Structure formats: structure tokens, C-alpha cells
């Protein structure tokens, strides 16, 4: 392993992004060509993976985004950008087919291909670069970024260091595994996978005599539907379990969707911390429900299998939690279940388990260990994040650390939503440059979230005014 030449210390970057998922890719696209007077803004983005891939294990045939195609990397901040989805279609001679397809919601695989098209052309993106440490150099007034360049096998090849005035963290989320099922994930020869890896194990799962899907969100529904379509009628042998009290549709009314606007993000950020923490769990149906079309497709497929008599060999049970889990003879799995409303318990033996149990924000602590003395935290020891997506740091740190999709506790359910990506990126760049390269709308929702405190002046009392209540 060799040391890479250290970049010219007299020319630090204006911005270094850590992680290249959709959100930092949006920031990179909008940052391209932005002036940072008297010169263009200099930015670099590092990602430890060898290439861009967006949830490759969930690019199920026909699965669509839950947001319109306008929620691409840039359009809602700059529809004239060269990095729009429509420009991607134009570059592929696909504008007319898309026009006649009349699709407002594109397939996930197409969104992934669009993002990879951007990464193939956009400069300043460095894949196979693992960021190891971030420090603040007080003497130079710059952040130091230590990284390792990886070879094709993911092994360390060279070391390097870069300097920057500002940082954007876009390290994304990671699969969440419930505690009762963690031992199964770690065991060998037991087909228990997270939904993130579904397509990589699909054939192995289809070969299993009995399959159980756990989780009531969109991923669980899509996987259940895909398995159902692939299993023979009358021999489906599928279980679908969920903790929620119903396989509920996602809130997709037009006014409900206004919870994913900048207006709501600003409103949520201004709420007291305790109110925000209480509010988020009650909003699960805004982002953890199932698309109504997917629910309809599941019901249609189940109904089709009853046309010649009989019922499909499927069990769909909400309101169930997994208490414990274990192996039987090293090849089968036993799940100990509890129904919360009935207060009943039972056991389920299965041959494979798919955990559609969602994702959690990756902790910032590992990568920001060197900044820990400067970080300000809330009552729950989470990083405090201001309304411009900056970590609240000690005033001696003159640079900013911006975060993307790590601020649900401060900005609400819209934090992981693709529809707010361009707006958040534009907000960051407007703040970073101190100018306004991307003018943003002041109002984005018909809903008025909260009351504006006002004390209107009392009208002068007329001498002819008769009291409503006459005293004795």
C-alpha cells in the first residue's frame, strides 16, 4: 500500500461529499458549475463502493418509485439543468416512448439507470475511496479528510488526504434487523435475508418449500407479490407477517403529500424536540405504508387463484410480532409469534425468512469521531442539526458539516424522501456560497402548518357599545 500525493494544500476544496447515494449525487449535480466568487466552486465526492447502484437487491421487475419522475436529482431546484431525468431520456432517444407511455411514476430500475448515467458524466466523483477520518485543523481553518483508495477486490491500495472548507455527509441508511432475528442472520446454512438482498437470493428462496416474509411496508409487499406470482397455484406455501394492525395503504392524498414539502420541514424543525419525537412514530403511514396499486395487485393475484375453487396456500397476518427465533436441525427455522390484540402465542416453522424490516440511519459517530469534541447534541444524544442542514458545532469550527438523510429527528418524515433531494441540495449550496444560485420558493404547500403567533391590536371601544352581559 502506498501513499497518494497529498493535494495542493494551497488549493483546498470548497466542498467534499462523503458518500455517493442519490442525495449527495443531487448535491454534486447542482454544485457543478456553481460559482464561488471569484471562481467556480470546487467539489469532490468520495464513495467506498466501486460504482453507483441504488438498492440493487430491490430492483424487482416492474417495481416503481413512490414519487413522480420530477423528483429526480435536480428538477425541483433547476429544471433547466443538464442532469434532469428528461435530459437523460433525450440522450437515450427515449423521449417520445416516455411521452406515449404516460407514466408519472417510473420504474426503480430506470431511476437507477438514470443516476448511473449522471455518475458516468459528472466530474469530481471518486468511487472506491473509503473515508477513514474527519478532523478539524484549527490552525488552517479547514477540515482534513483521510481516505483509503480501494482496488477491484475492495482491498486497500493507497492512502490519501484532502482538505476542504465544508463537508456534506450522505452516508445513507443500513438494513435494520430486529433483535430476535439477529442470531439467524449470523448463522450459516439458514436462508434468512434482509429485503435489501432479495434479488441476490431469489432463486434460493424460490427453491424453499415454505417462505415467510416479515414486514408490512412497500418492500415486504413487493417481495410477497413477486414470490406469489412465481409459485404454482395451490402450492404457494407463503406466510406474510406484520407488526402493524393492518396491511395499510400509504397516505397518498394530495394534501397528505404536503408533509413532504419544504413548508412542513421548516414547521417540523421549529417544534420542540419532545414534540418532534412523539410525532414521528405516529406518521408511519406517510412513508411506511404500501402503495395502493401494489395492494390491489396482490389481491388480484390471490383472487385469480380462487377461480377454479379452493384458496391459495397463503397466510397474511397483521398484528404479529416475533418474540424469539431459532433453528431446527440446522435447515429449518422456528418463529415464536405473539398476536398483540388477541394476547395469543404460537410457533411457525418455515424454510426461509425474508426480513422486510426497513432501514435505519447510519450513525455519524464513527466517521465523525474526530469532530466529537465540537459537536452539540440534543437530550437523546443525537446530533443537533439547524434549519439549513448543518451540524451544530462549536463556534471555533468555521466550516460547516451538512447532512443528508440523517435528520429525520429534526426535519421530519421528508428527510429520506427523494422529492426533497433537490430542494435540500439547493438549500445547502445557497448557504455554502453565501449567494443564491438556486432561488427557492417561499411557499410550497396549500396547508398552513401551525399558527403564526400574533397579537392583533384591540379595536377602540365605541361609547355606544352595549355589553353582551349586563351586570347588576
Report pLDDT for 464: 59
Q: Grade residue 5 by pLDDT with cuts at 50, 70 and 90.
A: very low
Phi, psi torsion values for 173, nearest 5 degrees: -115, 175
Residue 107's CB is within 10 A of a number of other CB atoms, namely 16
Flag whether pLDDT at 463 surpasses 80.
Answer: no
Q: Which of 89, 116, 111 is nearest to 100 (CA)?
A: 89
Report pLDDT for 326: 87
Q: For the whole model, what pTM was predicted?
A: 0.92
Alpha-carbon radius of gyration of the chain: 26
Mapped onto helix, strand or coil, the DSSP state of residue 20 is coil
Give yes or no for a contact between 28 and 79, defined as CB atoms under 8 angstroms apart.
no
Strands 352-355 and 344-350: unpaired
Q: Which three cell numbers stand for residue 311?
A: 384458496
The pLDDT tens digits for 126-153 are 999 999 999 999 999 999 999 999 999 8
Give yes or no for a contact between 318 and 249, defined as CB atoms under 8 angstroms apart.
no
Q: 85 or 471, which is more confident?
A: 85
Report pLDDT for 1: 43
Average pLDDT of the segment spanning 364-385:
95
Contacts of 409 by beta carbon, 8 Å cutoff, 6+ apart: 276, 277, 280, 378, 380, 382
Give the CA distances from residue 269 to residues 4, 365, 449, in Å, rounded to whole numbers and listed in that order.
Answer: 42, 22, 12
Q: Which of 442, 440, 378 is nearest to 410 (CA)?
A: 378
Give yes or no for a contact between 353 and 212, defined as CB atoms under 8 angstroms apart.
yes
Flag whether pLDDT at 73 surpasses 90.
Answer: yes
What would the DSSP string read from start to end of 332-358? Answer: EEEEEEEETTTTEEEEEEESEEEE---
Mapped onto helix, strand or coil, the DSSP state of residue 184 is helix
Give yes or no for a contact between 16 and 162, defined as CB atoms under 8 angstroms apart.
yes
Q: Which of 417, 385, 421, 381 is nearest to 402 (CA)?
A: 385
Q: What is the dihedral of CA 322, 323, 327, 332, to 10 degrees?
A: -30
The helix (H) or strand (E) run that includes residue 89 is helix 85-91
- The residue to which cell 415464536 is assigned: 336
Residues in the chain: 472
Amino acid at each position: 500500500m502506498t501513499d497518494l500525493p497529498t493535494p495542493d494544500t494551497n488549493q483546498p476544496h470548497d466542498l467534499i461529499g462523503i458518500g455517493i447515494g442519490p442525495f449527495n449525487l443531487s448535491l454534486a449535480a447542482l454544485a457543478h458549475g456553481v460559482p464561488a466568487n471569484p471562481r467556480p466552486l470546487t467539489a469532490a465526492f468520495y464513495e467506498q463502493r466501486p460504482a453507483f447502484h441504488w438498492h440493487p437487491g430491490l430492483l424487482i421487475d416492474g417495481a416503481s418509485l413512490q414519487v413522480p419522475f420530477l423528483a429526480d436529482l435536480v428538477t425541483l431546484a433547476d429544471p433547466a439543468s443538464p442532469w434532469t431525468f428528461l435530459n437523460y431520456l433525450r440522450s437515450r432517444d427515449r423521449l417520445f416512448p416516455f411521452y406515449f407511455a404516460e407514466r408519472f411514476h417510473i420504474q426503480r430500475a430506470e431511476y437507477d439507470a438514470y443516476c448511473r448515467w449522471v455518475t458516468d458524466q459528472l466530474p469530481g466523483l471518486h468511487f472506491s475511496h473509503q473515508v477513514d477520518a474527519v478532523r478539524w485543523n484549527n490552525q488552517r481553518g479547514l477540515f482534513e479528510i483521510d481516505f483509503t483508495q480501494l482496488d477491484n477486490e475492495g482491498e486497500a491500495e493507497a492512502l490519501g488526504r484532502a482538505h476542504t472548507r465544508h463537508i456534506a455527509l450522505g452516508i445513507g441508511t443500513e438494513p435494520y434487523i430486529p433483535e430476535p432475528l439477529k442470531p439467524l442472520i449470523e448463522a450459516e446454512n439458514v436462508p434468512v435475508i434482509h429485503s435489501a438482498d432479495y434479488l441476490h437470493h431469489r432463486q434460493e428462496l424460490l427453491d424453499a418449500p415454505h417462505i415467510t416474509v416479515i414486514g408490512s411496508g412497500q418492500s415486504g409487499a413487493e417481495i410477497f407479490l413477486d414470490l406469489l406470482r412465481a409459485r404454482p397455484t395451490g402450492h404457494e406455501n407463503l406466510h406474510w407477517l406484520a407488526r402493524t394492525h393492518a396491511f395499510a395503504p400509504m397516505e397518498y392524498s394530495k394534501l397528505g403529500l404536503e408533509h413532504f414539502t419544504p413548508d412542513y420541514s421548516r414547521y417540523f424543525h421549529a417544534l420542540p424536540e419532545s414534540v418532534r419525537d412523539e410525532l414521528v412514530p405516529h406518521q408511519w403511514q406517510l412513508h411506511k405504508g404500501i402503495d395502493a396499486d401494489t395492494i390491489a395487485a396482490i389481491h388480484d393475484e390471490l383472487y385469480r387463484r380462487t377461480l377454479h375453487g379452493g384458496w391459495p396456500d397463503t397466510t397474511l397476518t397483521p398484528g404479529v410480532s416475533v418474540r424469539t427465533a431459532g433453528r431446527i436441525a440446522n435447515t429449518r427455522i422456528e418463529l415464536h409469534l405473539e398476536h398483540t390484540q388477541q394476547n395469543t402465542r404460537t410457533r411457525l416453522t418455515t424454510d426461509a425468512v425474508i426480513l422486510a424490516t426497513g432501514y435505519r440511519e447510519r450513525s455519524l459517530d464513527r466517521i465523525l469521531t474526530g469532530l466529537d469534541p465540537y459537536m452539540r447534541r440534543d437530550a437523546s444524544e443525537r446530533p443537533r442539526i439547524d434549519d439549513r442542514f448543518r451540524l451544530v458545532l462549536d463556534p471555533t469550527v468555521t466550516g460547516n458539516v451538512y447532512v443528508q438523510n440523517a435528520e429525520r429527528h429534526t426535519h421530519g418524515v421528508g428527510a429520506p424522501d427523494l422529492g426533497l433531494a433537490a430542494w435540500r441540495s439547493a438549500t445547502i449550496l445557497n448557504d455554502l456560497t453565501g449567494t443564491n444560485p438556486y432561488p427557492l420558493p417561499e411557499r410550497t404547500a396549500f396547508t398552513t402548518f401551525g399558527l403564526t403567533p400574533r397579537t392583533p391590536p384591540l379595536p377602540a371601544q365605541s361609547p355606544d357599545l352595549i355589553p353582551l352581559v349586563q351586570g347588576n
